């Protein structure tokens, strides 16, 4: 008597996907497929099933034989599907292939390229003077005609300012009107413990914008000695000549020490 499963070896035609549906455990449960041959209690499809399992699912090599098999499949179909599955697995990006070829298992991230900023041409701007703060001052101190009055204004508004550092030289300009009353003051620059940078452009910039009639220059010496240096005398004479061109008079240059102060006009350096 010819076995029914033997006839299926000639008549049954299956593709690679149909064989996998019979072998894969999830599809095997749904379709009731089985690769087990019950003729004489032998499983003649065991070698082919194992080969398919190792080709299609490399991670399940250690678990071969764990599939549930219920219905027979054609051995000829299995043999024809093996080359197809081998070619398919070569093109698959499995974890094993990625590790063996040295490729990262994760998706490549986009390369961050530095984008050059777009520079627009400079445009004209509208300018104005903005007052930073009010400085309440007694009426008697607002009149600034002597070195003592200028030194008193310094101690009231400059030395007590949070930005003032007594360990560094600090240059300040007092703005005066035609009546020699102080309209305000502004900080020009900070220096080091024994020097400071100064240029007539920065000294007269706000004086021009504030319509000053005259200015008084003042700076401190961190050493406490109020005697002017040669650099102090030279920059004072440069500022006097710049003020003459701008029609803004430089009334005096006060050097603030501790506790004394000196006036370059009183010392005769304005008449050289």
Query: Cα angle vertex 31, ends 29, 34, to 5°?
Result: 75
182-240 pLDDT tens trace: 999 999 999 999 899 989 999 999 999 999 999 999 999 999 999 999 999 999 999 99
Q: What percent of the chain has pLDDT over 90?
A: 41
Give alpha helix (H) positions in the chain: 4-11, 16-23, 25-31, 46-56, 75-90, 95-101, 139-142, 147-153, 200-209, 230-246
CB-based burial label for 202 (10 Å; 0-12, 13-18, 19+): middle
- In whole angstroms, give the CA distance from residue 37 to residue 43: 5
Write the CB contacts of 222 (distance below 8 Å, at least 6 apart in sequence).
Answer: 166, 167, 168, 169, 193, 194
- The reported pTM is 0.55
Q: Does domain 139-263 have CATH number 3.60.15.10?
A: no
- In whole angstroms, give the CA distance from residue 13 to residue 64: 25
130-180 pLDDT tens trace: 888 888 888 888 999 899 999 999 999 999 888 888 899 999 999 999 999
- In whole angstroms, give the CA distance from residue 209 to residue 215: 13
Helix (H, G, I), strand (E, B) or coil at 189: strand
Q: Where in the chain is the domain with CATH 3.40.140.10?
A: 139-263
Residue 251's H or E segment, with its range, is strand 249-256
Distances (CA, A) of 27 to 63, 76, 208: 17, 20, 91
């Amino acid at each position: 008597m010819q076995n029914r499963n033997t006839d299926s070896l000639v008549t049954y035609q299956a593709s690679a996907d149909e064989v996998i549906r019979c072998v894969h455990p999830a599809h095997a449960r749904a379709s009731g497929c089985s690769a087990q041959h019950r003729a004489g209690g032998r499983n003649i499809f065991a070698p082919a099933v194992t080969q398919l399992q190792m080709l299609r699912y490399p991670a399940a090599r250690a678990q071969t034989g764990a599939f549930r098999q219920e219905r027979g499949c054609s051995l000829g179909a299995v043999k024809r599907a093996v080359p197809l599955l081998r070619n398919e697995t070569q093109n698959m990006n499995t974890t094993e292939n990625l590790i063996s070829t040295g490729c990262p298992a994760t998706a490549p991230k986009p390369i961050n390229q530095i984008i050059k900023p777009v520079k627009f041409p400079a445009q004209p701007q509208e300018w104005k003077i903005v007052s930073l703060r009010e400085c309440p001052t007694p009426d008697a101190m607002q009149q600034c005609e002597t070195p003592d009055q200028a030194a008193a204004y310094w101690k009231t508004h400059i030395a007590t300012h949070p930005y003032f550092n007594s360990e560094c030289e600090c240059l300040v300009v007092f703005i005066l009107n035609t009546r020699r009353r102080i309209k305000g003051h502004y900080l020009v620059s900070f220096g080091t413990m024994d020097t400071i940078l100064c240029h007539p452009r920065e000294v007269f910039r706000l004086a021009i914008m504030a319509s000053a009639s005259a200015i008084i220059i003042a700076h401190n010496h961190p050493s406490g000695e109020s005697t002017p240096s040669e650099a102090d005398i030279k920059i004072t004479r440069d500022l006097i000549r710049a003020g003459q061109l701008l029609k803004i008079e430089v009334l005096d240059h006060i050097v603030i020490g501790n506790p004394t102060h000196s006036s370059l006009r009183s010392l005769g350096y304005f008449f050289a």
